[in-house]
């Protein structure tokens, strides 16, 4: 009788634990090797490693982070509720309207920059920055990039947004198909090093153009799940694990 009671107790605990599990669908961003690079065991990507840290919480079960989507499709699926979360999207007015943005804790800060060929005569940005650049050559951004808003306001500039990866845009740069690649400095530096383009490409920071990178959630998620995820992320910040991950990938915390 005692053994039967113990067996039933174990069954109850197993089912009660699973009943409270939070199942979340995520995805990887294709072409962003700094955040998602599952084929590199040493540096699988900031976002993949952060998901692994979140999954140390027994209540959180996250799937889909090995499935690649373009940035544009990633945002569309998040908005439609086909996925629940994206770990690592830069802040923008459009994303604030469409998604739940976990602003605290911030994942990291990124700074806008342009990559140019090393022999390019441009060493200093014009005073009008992007609008000045657009008068002197084509600027490449990836599809769906938040930087696109800067290139279409107040007047559209010469822009190429046909590629889904930063590596493809850097390829266009070295082949003289575009003059500039606009992206986050941290990711430009990372990809230039990974692609061994240091002797062919250099990076010019756009001072004053800093953006927070966040965990973003579908607005279709229950408020209890949103609160739980924010608390889990805050635990990683308080424990120092999030800071250690930033250091590993050379990223800056909130200023």
Quick: pLDDT tens for 96-108.
Answer: 999 999 999 999 9
User: Among the listed ranges 56-65, 73-82, 134-143, 230-239, which one has the minimum average pLDDT value?
Assistant: 134-143
The tokens of 173 are what?
């740069």
**Mapping DSSP to helix (H, G, I), strand (E, B) and coil, where does residue 55 land?**
coil
Q: What is the pLDDT of residue 15?
A: 44
Backbone angles phi, psi at 216, to 5 degrees: -120, 140
- In order of their start, the domains of the chain are 2-108+212-248 (3.40.190.10), 109-210 (3.40.190.10)
Q: What is the pLDDT of residue 209?
A: 84
Quick: pLDDT tens for 124-162.
Answer: 665 556 656 666 788 999 988 888 776 765 555 688 989
pLDDT at 4 over 70: no
0.85 surpassed by pTM: no
Q: What angle do CA 9, 12, 14 make, to 5 degrees?
A: 110
pLDDT at 26 over 50: yes
Quick: pLDDT tens for 219-228.
Answer: 999 999 999 9
Q: What is the pLDDT of residue 155?
A: 55
User: What DSSP element (H or E) covers 90?
Assistant: strand 85-90
Q: Measure the CA–CA gap between 134 and 3, rounded to whole angstroms.
A: 77
The tokens of 226 are what?
């949103």
Q: Measure the CA–CA gap between 202 and 123, rounded to whole angstroms.
A: 10
DSSP string, 181-250: EEEEHHHHHHHHHHTT-TTTEEEEEEEEEEEEEEEEE-TTS-HHHHHHHHHHHHHHHHHTHHHHHHHHTT
Q: What is the pLDDT of residue 126?
A: 57
Q: What is the pLDDT of residue 66?
A: 87
Q: What is the pLDDT of residue 37?
A: 92
pLDDT above 70 covers what percent of the chain?
84
Q: Measure the CA–CA gap between 23 and 77, rounded to whole angstroms.
A: 17
User: Among the listed ranges 34-43, 55-64, 95-104, 124-133, which one has the minimum average pLDDT value?
Assistant: 124-133
Considering only CA atoms, which of 117, 118, 136, 116 is closest in space to residue 126? Answer: 136
Average pLDDT over residues 177-193: 93
């Amino acid at each position: 009788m005692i053994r039967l009671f113990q067996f039933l107790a174990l069954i109850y605990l197993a089912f009660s634990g699973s009943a409270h599990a939070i199942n979340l669908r995520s995805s990887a961003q294709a072409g962003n090797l700094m955040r998602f690079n599952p084929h590199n065991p040493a540096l699988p990507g900031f976002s993949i490693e952060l998901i692994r840290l979140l999954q140390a919480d027994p209540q959180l079960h996250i799937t889909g982070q090995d499935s690649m989507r373009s940035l544009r499709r990633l945002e569309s699926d998040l908005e439609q509720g086909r996925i629940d979360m994206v770990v690592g999207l830069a802040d923008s007015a459009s994303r604030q309207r469409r998604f739940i943005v976990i602003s605290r804790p911030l994942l990291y800060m990124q700074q806008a920059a342009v990559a140019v060929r090393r022999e390019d005569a441009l060493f200093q940005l014009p005073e009008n920055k992007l609008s000045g650049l657009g008068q002197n050559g084509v600027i490449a951004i990836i599809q769906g990039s938040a930087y696109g808003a800067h290139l279409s306001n107040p007047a559209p500039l010469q822009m190429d947004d046909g590629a889904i990866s930063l590596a493809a845009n850097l390829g266009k740069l070295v082949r003289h198909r575009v003059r500039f690649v606009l992206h986050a400095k941290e990711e430009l530096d990372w990809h230039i090093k990974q692609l061994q383009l240091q002797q062919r490409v250099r990076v010019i920071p756009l001072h004053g153009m800093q953006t927070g990178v966040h965990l973003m959630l579908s607005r279709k998620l229950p408020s209890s799940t949103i609160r739980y995820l924010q608390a889990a992320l805050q635990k990683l910040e308080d424990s120092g694990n999030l800071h250690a991950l930033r250091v590993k990938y050379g990223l800056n915390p909130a200023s």
